[in-house]
């Protein structure tokens, strides 16, 4: 009876010891597992970049419409400056207008119309005219045949006598009477250096017998 009780007590003690060992083993294992686990990592957040505008951003800021966005030290045209520029242009003197060419016939000095001439005779024709334009006649002005053929032995383009605006001058051309009898008439007109005709025409009329 004693032996049976002793054996029963030993079995319970052994079972308790085994359970205690198992619990201690679980605790040790859990502690080891916790100690060896990697520490939680904090997600990486890149540092914020310092404000440093690029050259392109700077160029864009110079051309923005809002004045507050323009870079300091850059002059921007204002409405008042534009109006001042227009006002300055408005008060500038206008350019001097181009002068006007004109010729006025006054009289025949020699060889009136209808003068009788001999065949081959030398004819000194002179006209009194006035430069009644605002341009001075220079050596580049000419007197040209505009009507009549033949030109009575004269060159069809003659130098126009130089004359200041408003002055009177004498035009002269040396002609030659044709060999055949008849009435001969020719007209001459002044031209400016650009080849533009102007003024009244002058005439010569002769009768060859």
- Segment 62-91, tens digit of pLDDT: 333 434 444 455 455 554 555 455 545 545
Whether residue 72 lies inside any domain: the answer is no
Whether residue 170 lies inside any domain: the answer is yes
**Domain tally, the chain:** 1
Q: What is the pLDDT of residue 59?
A: 38
Q: What is the pLDDT of residue 191?
A: 98
Q: What is the pLDDT of residue 173?
A: 97
Whether residue 160 lies inside any domain: the answer is yes
Residue 161 CA to residue 141 CA, distance in Å, equals: 8
User: What's the pLDDT tens digit per position in 130-149?
Assistant: 999 999 999 999 999 999 87
Whether residue 153 lies inside any domain: the answer is yes
Whether residue 138 lies inside any domain: the answer is yes
**Which tokens go with 175?**
């002609």
Whether residue 57 lies inside any domain: the answer is no
State how beta strands 104-108 and 122-130 pair.
antiparallel
Whether residue 47 lies inside any domain: the answer is no
CATH number at residue 112: 2.60.40.10
Give every residue of the chain whose pLDDT is below 50, as ranges. 1-9, 13, 36-37, 53-71, 74, 79, 83, 87, 90
Residue 72 CA to residue 183 CA, distance in Å, equals: 89
* Rg of the Cα atoms in the chain: 60
Q: What is the pLDDT of residue 6?
A: 45
Q: What is the pLDDT of residue 149?
A: 76
Whether residue 94 lies inside any domain: the answer is no
Q: Which domain holds residue 174?
A: 104-208
């Amino acid at each position: 009876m004693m032996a049976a009780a002793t054996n029963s007590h030993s079995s319970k003690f052994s079972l308790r010891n085994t359970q205690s060992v198992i619990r201690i083993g679980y605790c040790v294992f859990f502690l080891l597992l916790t100690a060896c686990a990697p520490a939680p990592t904090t997600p990486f957040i890149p540092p914020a970049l310092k404000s440093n505008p690029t050259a392109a951003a700077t160029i864009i800021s110079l051309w923005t419409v809002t004045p507050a966005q323009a870079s300091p030290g850059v002059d921007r045209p204002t409405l008042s400056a534009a109006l001042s520029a227009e006002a300055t242009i408005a008060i500038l003197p206008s350019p001097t207008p181009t002068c006007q060419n004109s010729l006025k016939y006054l009289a025949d000095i020699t060889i009136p119309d209808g003068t009788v001439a001999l065949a081959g005779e030398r004819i000194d024709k002179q006209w009194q005219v006035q430069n009644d334009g605002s341009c001075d006649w220079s050596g580049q002005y000419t007197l040209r045949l505009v009507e009549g053929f033949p030109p009575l032995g004269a060159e069809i383009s003659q130098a126009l006598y130089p004359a200041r605006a408003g002055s009177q001058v004498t035009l002269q051309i040396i002609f030659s009477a044709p060999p055949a009898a008849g009435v001969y008439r020719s007209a001459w007109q002044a031209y400016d250096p650009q080849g533009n005709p102007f003024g009244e025409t002058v005439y010569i009329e002769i009768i060859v017998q």
